[in-house]
Amino acid sequence: MKVYITYFVHGTTTDNEKGISSGWSDAKLSELGIKQAIELKEKVKGKKFDIVFCSDLKRAVDSAKLTWGNAVPTVRDERLRECNYGDLNGTNSEKVDELMEKHVNEPFPNGESYKDVEKRIQSFLKDLVKNYSGKHIAIVAHRAPQLALDVVIKGKSWQQAMKEDWRLKKAWQPGWEYIFES
């Protein structure tokens, strides 16, 4: 039983442009983010998705709507949320980035750890393979869930996934491919 996944990050937010890590705060797409989500529609033209799953945070929901509209069924799933940075939701991204490795196992104050995100993603993937085996799905979400896919599906350590994160190299692409088998 396997599921084919193409992972997309939400468009740029007003927080991203200010150097803020939103976490569980509901940030809005910026003008650039809106443009990115609309342009993504053209970049995925010709790819068939059976369903789109997105985080329930506004920036992911809006990105999915702008890209697919009503062309593909879309389901919001809170398990695809960004890491809950707790007291650091909505604060300086450099500060959050500096603390990432420290919080692989230890939760952010009043938040969660990256291992907690990994557990959410494992639960999501278990349901995916049970309900969508053989299907091609799109996911629109955030940084931590994507890193968790690298850990769960590709077998990377959290440290390796963080070190190889495309964001560090500014190496965005229109979708990352994963195959999950159970």
pLDDT of residue 72: 95
Mean pLDDT, 10 residues at a time, the chain of 182 residues: 96 96 96 96 94 98 97 97 98 95 98 98 97 97 97 98 90 90 89
Name the active-site residue from 82, 103, 112, 142: 82
Q: Which residue has the tokens 């931590």?
A: 144
Q: How many domains does one find in the chain?
A: 1
pLDDT of residue 4: 98
Domain extent at residue 11: 2-181
How far is the CA of 106 from the CAs of 45, 82, 90, in angstroms? 41, 16, 19
98 assigned to active site: no
CATH number at residue 17: 3.40.50.1240
Report helix, strand and coil shares of the chain as percent, to nearest 5. 45, 20, 35
Which of 53, 67, 56 has its CA nearest to residue 136?
53
10 assigned to active site: yes
The conformation of residue 12, written as its DSSP 8-state character, comes to P
| Three-state secondary-structure class, residue 175 | coil
Q: Token pair of 87, please?
A: 């007291």
Q: Token pair of 51, please?
A: 């369903």
Q: Are 32 and 11 in contact (CB under 8 A)?
A: yes
pLDDT of residue 172: 81
Is pTM beyond 0.85 here?
yes
pLDDT of residue 154: 97
